[in-house]
Structure 1
Amino acid sequence: MKSTTVAKNLRSGEWPLLEYLRELESRFAKVEPNLLAFVPEEDRWARLYREAKELLRRYPEPDHRPPLFGVPVGVKDIFHIEGFETRAGSLLPPEALSGMEASAVKRLKDACALIIGKTVTAEFAYIAPGPTRNPHNPEHTPGGSSSGSAAAVAAGLCLVAIGTQTVGSVNRPAAFCGICGFKPSYGKVPTDGVIPLAPSTDHIGWLASDVDGIELTAQALVPDWKLSQTEERPKLGIPDGPYLDYVTGDARLYFQETCAVLRAAGYTLLEVPAFPDFEELYRWHHLLVAGEATRAHERWYPKYKPLYRPETTELIERGLKISALDLETARAVRQRQREYIAALMQQRGIDAWISPSATGPAPRGLNSTGDSVMQLPWTQAGLPLLNIPTGFVRGLPVGIHIAGPWAKNETLVRWGLDIESLFKTPAKCPT
């Protein structure tokens, strides 16, 4: 059932909210103990029934109910939520990390979403993984750092979840878990009330089982979101060169088959040499993340260093060696990258870019969240990026992502609706 249909049924009362919540509680009890997508919460369901009854009291008339009335939403545990501790996947005391509720969370609440709970994150939204499993195969990573958000949506424990992306932390777990993930252009959703990793490249994004759910959530998170009515199919560019060389053999072959499906449906795809200096872009982006992460943690790291996991410690220690001048250069590289992509698109008449959303399906093991390299050029430039699942390789989901021009968020999502329709719905998670 489409995300928008579920939301519509909850608003109209065709699916009574308390009945829906009881069914969700039953599924949660069956699935979550093995999935581990959520931060444990005492009396979660007592809280949710209270909040659901309050929504029904405040909005007895279906015609007056906000768009996300009763929709279950997961929130990555780096967002501050009133009444919840924030641990950010770390061992640091939550009182040290406390802060005011995030604007993004307030917007979801204003739309009458039900916050099912905090979802598991890699430590401080970097790469040290949490306990979450991939719902398609528990021996494989769900990706990260928005691991719990992606797994929870894929397993049907919430309709929507929000996360963050500094390199690939929304789109990659969406790809690994076989769902849609979207990050709008940089700054489109405010990041206040969110523990930063690298503020110059931190984006808020969200995940849903389909593009309809992405668009529905956008209308709550982005106040000026305008539904695009465009019917024109975009001309899609394939960024040929060292960037695509990261894709593994079977995933590369499947991507070629995906492109054939698009061409058969009438899309124009053009291979365009791009990112000849990709290794330099990669280096500058990771330098920026390390340098800004060190500064973001300057209040906590000296006091709580023994509590940090090795991966995050290495990042911060590396960042301590980065000069202010190098940081400014790295920020300038971001702007040049955005201008380079825009110029190349104009030169070749490209409306959007299409590429594999990961180097391959989710790797086996839970000690890594996988490689974020496929998201890097688009996140670095701050461009809107939408993941769409297209099928399976080795029994695990794979997909494509579409990168659009700066600030063309609504148009990109509308294009995504048509592209999504060309691919069979991935098999339901076995969980």
Structure 2
Amino acid sequence: MSYPLGLLAVHRAFREGTLSPADYLATCIQRADEVEPWLKAFCHRLPADQLAGGEGPLAGVPIGVKDIIATAGIPTTNGSRVYADHVPDQDAPIVARIKQLGGIVFGKTVSTEFAWRSPGPTVNPHNPQHTPGGSSSGSAAAVAAGIVPMALGTQTVGSVVRPAAYCGIVGFKPSFGAIVRDGVHPLAQSLDHVGFLTRSVEDAAFAFGLLADGADAGAAAQAVEGDVLPAASSLRLGVVRPPIWDRVSAEQNQAFEAALDTLRRAGASVEPLALPERYWQGFEAAEIILAAEAAAIFNELVTQHPDLTSPQLKELVVAGNAISAPRYIWARQLQASLQQELPRHLSGLDGILTAPAPGEAPEGLAYTGDASFCALWTMLGVPALTMPIARSARGLPLGLQVIGGFGEDARLLRTARVVEAQLAN
């Protein structure tokens, strides 16, 4: 048996009896012991004797949980010194769901402070001199390093998609509200999403089938394994290069264009999609919404704990407090208007293709990278997924972002599986 295995491959191996949960868990523990001294993906790991799962489709599967997601009896620090000793009494519903399906909370993965911009110690598994991205830093690194087959992340701007792209794995942000957010420390309630970091698109599809609100977990594996995927030649894909495309590196642009060419050769229709100019006001609107809502959440905290909160969080609160009510209302109205209009622009398309980030992970750990290429799609609440497509000259991953219509997560995942298969050929 070769490692690391993906989520669905582990499930199949357990089901078919070719791998025992105990042996697999031991391999994951061994891998963590080997790499954690320098990777630093986890802020808290459970002892081996506490790693017990239950019955169900996730039975015996170890999963990383981002440190802003509540875990009963396990420290949940939110990446903050203010919460250094915080141990919740209850699991967040998404964690309770994982346990209900037999999954194992392997440990808490490092998050930036409150999922904002003050980074933790996690490094990029491909090159420890580079950031893994944020804010789901530890989740992306843990999956990419082969410690766990899946980890939970959150995204308010680009915190699932960007670190997944930097670490060379799949990051899937479902539609807004598709995953219950109770028990997840908020950054901006109108933008916060829960997402998955996995090793393949089919793993993300399996996770979504198990964990989405109202999902039929019993049919999830069968739904993915038995799904009849569309032919590549039937796909109609729109290409969006936002006005900030000049930030895209030559290597990222080359990888992006090569991916488009591959899809065209497979028979897919791949054509530019010109969104109305007002969509690009969404960058400003997203910043306004995030800052205003974050200020309401963190104002008291930074006032009471000035020595325990970062300059980045304080600056966010100051910016949010400076936003007038009319500006916030304008941003929320624009968000609603663009969301309402988007289905018309996506009509007839199976998805949008764009970049997940400007290029490879930046050098150094102080800056987790530019999230702008995710911001609009997060504000619109639509499903977004990144997959690895190439490596830079320095051996760092480069990704491709695929976007779908709101509530059309299953369709997006099918499209992305076809795209992934074609780009792997």
SS at match of 2:246: helix
Distance change in 2, residues 1:115/1:96 (3 Å): closer
SS at match of 1:378: helix
Give the letter for the 2:273 counterpart.
V
1:224 aligns with 2:215: yes
Distance change in 2, residues 1:110/1:364 (3 Å): same
Give the letter for the 2:254 counterpart.
L
TM norm structure 1: 0.90
The aligned counterpart of 1:73 is 63
Q: How many residues align?
A: 409
Aligned-residue identity in percent: 36
1:29-44 pair list within 5 angstroms: 29-41=33-45, 44=47
- The separation in 1 between residues aligned to 2:267 and 2:244, in whole angstroms, is 26
Distance change in 2, residues 1:96/1:3 (3 Å): closer
- The separation in 2 between residues aligned to 1:254 and 1:231, in whole angstroms, is 24
Kept in 2: contact 1:391–1:424 (CA 8 A): no
The aligned counterpart of 1:58 is none
Q: Offset at 1:275? A: 5.2
The aligned counterpart of 2:10 is 6
The aligned counterpart of 1:127 is 117
Kept in 2: contact 1:287–1:327 (CA 8 A): yes
Bigger Cα displacement from structure 2, 20-29 vs 240-249: 240-249
- The separation in 2 between residues aligned to 1:181 and 1:44, in whole angstroms, is 28
The aligned counterpart of 1:402 is 402
Q: Offset at 1:326? A: 2.2
1:131-142 pair list within 5 angstroms: 131-142=121-132
The aligned counterpart of 2:374 is 375
SS at match of 2:271: strand
The aligned counterpart of 1:46 is 49
Kept in 2: contact 1:99–1:193 (CA 8 A): no
Bigger Cα displacement from structure 2, 321-330 vs 274-283: 274-283
The aligned counterpart of 1:282 is 283
Q: Offset at 1:211? A: 1.0
Kept in 2: contact 1:179–1:209 (CA 8 A): yes
Deviations 1:101-132 (A, max 9, x none): 21111111111111100000011001111100
Kept in 2: contact 1:76–1:119 (CA 8 A): yes
The aligned counterpart of 1:176 is 166
Q: Offset at 1:351? A: 2.7
Let me know the Cα RMSD of the aligned residues. Answer: 1.9
Kept in 1: contact 2:255–2:389 (CA 8 A): no
1:197-208 pair list within 5 angstroms: 197-208=187-198
- The separation in 2 between residues aligned to 1:316 and 1:11, in whole angstroms, is 50
- The separation in 1 between residues aligned to 2:20 and 2:253, in whole angstroms, is 45
Q: Offset at 1:96? A: 6.4
- The separation in 2 between residues aligned to 1:392 and 1:300, in whole angstroms, is 41
Structure 2: state its 5+ residue gaps. Answer: none
Bigger Cα displacement from structure 2, 93-102 vs 322-331: 93-102
1:115 aligns with 2:101: no
1:12-31 pair list within 5 angstroms: 12-31=16-35
- The separation in 2 between residues aligned to 1:37 and 1:207, in whole angstroms, is 13
Give the letter for the 1:3 counterpart.
L
Q: Offset at 1:239? A: 1.5
Distance change in 2, residues 1:241/1:33 (3 Å): closer
Deviations 1:348-377 (A, max 9, x none): x32310011111011111001100011111
Distance change in 2, residues 1:108/1:354 (3 Å): same
Give the letter for the 1:216 counterpart.
F
- The separation in 2 between residues aligned to 1:339 and 1:281, in whole angstroms, is 14
**Partner of residue 96 from structure 2, selected from 96, 101, 106:** 106
Kept in 2: contact 1:11–1:69 (CA 8 A): no
Kept in 2: contact 1:240–1:274 (CA 8 A): no
Q: Offset at 1:6? A: 1.3
Give the letter for the 1:255 counterpart.
F
Kept in 2: contact 1:391–1:423 (CA 8 A): no
Give the letter for the 2:56 counterpart.
P
- The separation in 1 between residues aligned to 2:267 and 2:331, in whole angstroms, is 40
- The separation in 1 between residues aligned to 2:361 and 2:314, in whole angstroms, is 25
Which stretches of structure 1, 4 residues or longer, exceed 6 Å deviation after superposition? none
Bigger Cα displacement from structure 2, 1-10 vs 155-164: 1-10
Q: Offset at 1:246? A: 3.0
The aligned counterpart of 1:419 is 419
Kept in 2: contact 1:241–1:273 (CA 8 A): no
Structure 1: state its 5+ residue gaps. Answer: 56-64, 426-431
The aligned counterpart of 2:317 is 316
Q: Offset at 1:177? A: 0.4
The aligned counterpart of 1:61 is none
SS at match of 2:341: helix
Distance change in 2, residues 1:97/1:44 (3 Å): closer
- The separation in 2 between residues aligned to 1:374 and 1:344, in whole angstroms, is 19
TM norm structure 2: 0.91
Distance change in 2, residues 1:380/1:93 (3 Å): closer
1:159 aligns with 2:173: no
SS at match of 1:421: helix
Q: Offset at 1:212? A: 1.7
Deviations 1:298-355 (A, max 9, x none): 4523211221111111001111112233222212221122233322223xx3231001
The aligned counterpart of 1:235 is 236
The aligned counterpart of 1:428 is none
Q: Offset at 1:136? A: 0.5
Q: Offset at 1:13? A: 3.9
Distance change in 2, residues 1:100/1:316 (3 Å): farther
- The separation in 2 between residues aligned to 1:96 and 1:293, in whole angstroms, is 21
Give the letter for the 1:276 counterpart.
E
Give the letter for the 2:32 counterpart.
F
Kept in 2: contact 1:243–1:278 (CA 8 A): no
- The separation in 1 between residues aligned to 2:398 and 2:230, in whole angstroms, is 27
- The separation in 1 between residues aligned to 2:152 and 2:121, in whole angstroms, is 18
Kept in 1: contact 2:72–2:88 (CA 8 A): no
Kept in 1: contact 2:114–2:185 (CA 8 A): yes
